[in-house]
């Protein structure tokens, strides 16, 4: 599953307000509720499972990237939201640098291979400096989605 398959422009927040990883996770989950990707009544349960996963080890993988993720039986398909922060988010990243791109994704419970495959695809794409730079400079969510779709096929 590629990033372009998961996101719509409505699921991209071009100016994350969060200052830490917990706020960023909440902001992205709120986006998934607002866009109808998860039910409002599942917000707290999904937030708890993502934060539990994040507590075990930060998903701030370096290079200004955070990829919080979790499996849950409260969704039927892979869903995600992308946030961009110009100020940077304190993510307790491996390189101790602030995170500018936060990609939250959720995978249905029991789909371990899909979970790993999705995580690997997202990490591989976000590790490319040209891709990150293009996302950071894009003027709006529509331009960001276009970049994601173009790079996802390379």
Catalytic site positions: 69
Euclidean distance between CA atoms 71 and 112, whole angstroms:
8
| DSSP E strands, 14-152 | 60-62, 65-66, 69-72, 79-89, 99-108
> Beta partners for 88?
none
What is the SS3 assignment for 27?
helix
- 100 HSE (CA, 13 A, CB side): 14
Euclidean distance between CA atoms 42 and 57, whole angstroms:
23
């Amino acid at each position: 599953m590629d990033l372009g398959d998961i996101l719509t422009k409505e699921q991209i927040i071009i100016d994350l307000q969060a200052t830490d990883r917990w706020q960023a996770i909440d902001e992205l989950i709120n986006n998934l509720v607002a866009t109808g990707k998860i039910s409002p009544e599942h917000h707290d349960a999904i937030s708890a499972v993502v934060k539990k996963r994040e507590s075990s080890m930060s998903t701030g993988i370096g290079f200004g990237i955070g990829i919080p993720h979790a499996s849950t039986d409260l969704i039927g398909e892979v869903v995600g939201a992308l946030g961009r922060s110009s100020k940077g988010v304190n993510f307790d990243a491996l390189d101790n640098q602030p995170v500018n791109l936060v990609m939250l994704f959720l995978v249905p419970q029991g789909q371990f291979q899909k979970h790993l495959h999705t995580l690997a695809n997202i990490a591989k794409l976000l590790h490319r400096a040209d891709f990150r730079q293009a996302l950071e400079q894009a003027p709006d969510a529509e331009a960001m989605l276009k970049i994601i779709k173009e790079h996802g096929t390379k």
